Amino acid sequence: MLENWRYMLIFRSSVFGILVIFMLLMMGFWVQKENVVFPYKNEQTIDWSKTVAEKSKELEQCEKKLLSNTAENKSMGLNTLTPWLAPIVWDGTYDLSILDKQHSGTRIGLFVFAVKKYIRFLQLFLESAERYFMVGHKVTYYVFTDKVDEVVKPKMADGRILQLHNVVADQRWQDVSMRRMEILTVYTKEYMPSEIDYLVCADVDMVFTDHVGVEILGDLVATIHPGYFLSEPESFTYERRPISAAYIPDGEGDFYYMAAFYGGKVDEIYKLSVACQNGIIEDKKKNIEAVWQEESHLNRYLVYNKPTKVLSPEYLWDTNVPYGDLVKKKRFVILNKNNQEIRN
Ligand code: UD2
């Protein structure tokens, strides 16, 4: 009897135990099932091809904003960054109100030669600069001429100074043009460091036709020649004769820069002018002259000392070159002149 009772107890406990284990297993399964199933209540299919297509459209539009979509516009000159990550300044690539604040108090020099018959361009150059060049900032004009008495002083805004300096009138126009480098080596060392922070060098046979402001300032700044902004380096008119100090071998060089507008911090322009002037002297000793005089030496310098900022052809436009429609703003424009007449 006692034996039966013990078996009954063992049997009942076992059944109870099995039931408990079964219930626990069921609960575990339920919990697991719920955990697994709950986050994926409804199965969702993502259309990856659509998402990828939408993204590439967005990227394409983004690229279009920077470059227009023709083959030509893939050219380096239409980019907004150089391969060494210096900005190429185009309209819309900067916020002037931020830059103006950053440059409050900055002193800027504008260096120009108006020698012999080129004096006729000076009045328009200065008056247009008063209207468009660094408006609201401190500006010193450094005018070098052999005709100080003929200079017509423009009406100038507060904070702007006109300095007139006498300079020798070389006989050949090429020598007048190159003389600028020699003068720069002296002034950027002796006088300008205490007078200005940045220097901008310009040709005089030019007119400012739109805003040119502090967006152009940088350590070393050069402007893309409007005739070459769509061209490949092989067609640039660099000095190609190895005998010249301005020589640039095939395969080297990024842009063709124009000597009619460049600039930078005063000490950078000092280094640039010394290098170019030394090149000019070396060539003179060999009785040669670089194909585009100081512009060739400038280009050589800038191949091996990359500018920290590059100005698009907005900042140097020539109405005689094609593709003007690609350059919406023409801020500093070359005047047409009769070279034969003016250089004699
Ligand atoms: C190109 C470049 C110029 C320079 C030159 C060198 C342009 C717009 N400019 O100019 O930067 O590299 O080639 O070959 O293409 N000047 C005088 N009196 C003179 C002669 C020259 O003041 O008798 C000054 C003046 O500031 C003039 C500058 O030198 O703007 C350059 O001379 P250019 O304009 O006659 O030379 P150009 O047009 O070939």
pLDDT, one tens digit per residue, over 124-159 is: 999 999 999 999 999 999 999 999 999 999 999 999
* 75-343 topology per CATH: Spore Coat Polysaccharide Biosynthesis Protein SpsA; Chain A (3.90.550)
Q: What is the pLDDT of residue 344?
A: 84
Say how many Å lie between the CA of residue 338 and the centre of ligand 1: 12
Q: What is the pLDDT of residue 66?
A: 53
289 has catalytic annotation:
no
140 Cβ below 6 A of ligand 1: no
- pLDDT bucket at 74, cuts 50 / 70 / 90: low
Q: Is the pLDDT of residue 164 over 70?
A: yes
292 Cβ below 6 A of ligand 1: yes
Q: What integer best gives the mean pLDDT of the chain?
A: 89
Nearest CA to ligand 1 atom 15: 260
114 Cβ below 6 A of ligand 1: yes
Q: Kindly name the residue from 294, 295, 314, 341 that is annotated as catalytic.
A: 295
d(CA 277, CA 221): 18
Q: Kindly state the average pLDDT of the residues 273-299.
A: 98
280 Cβ below 6 A of ligand 1: no
Q: What residues have CB less than 8 Å from 101, skipping those under 6 apart?
A: none
Residue 92 buriedness (CB in 10 A; 0-12 / 13-18 / 19+): exposed
118 Cβ below 6 A of ligand 1: yes
The SS3 call for residue 202 is strand
294 Cβ below 6 A of ligand 1: yes
How many Cβ atoms are within 10 Å of 318's Cβ, its own excluded? 18
Task: Assign 3-class secondary structure to 33-68.
Answer: HHHHHHHHCCCCCCCHHHHHHHHHHHHHHHHHHHCC
pLDDT, tens only, 31-67: 555 454 555 555 666 676 776 777 666 666 555 455 5
d(CA 19, CA 302): 89
- Mutate which of 111, 179, 203 for ligand 1? The one with the most ligand atoms within 8 Å of its CB, which is 203
Q: Kindly state the average pLDDT of the residues 195-212.
A: 98
Of 334, 245, 233, which Cα lies nearest the Cα of 298? 245
Say how many Å lie between the CA of residue 25 and the centre of ligand 1: 94
How many Cβ atoms are within 10 Å of 169's Cβ, its own excluded? 13
Q: What is the pLDDT of residue 47?
A: 72
Q: Which helix (H) or strand (E) holds 254?
A: none
Q: Is the pLDDT of residue 72 over 60?
A: no
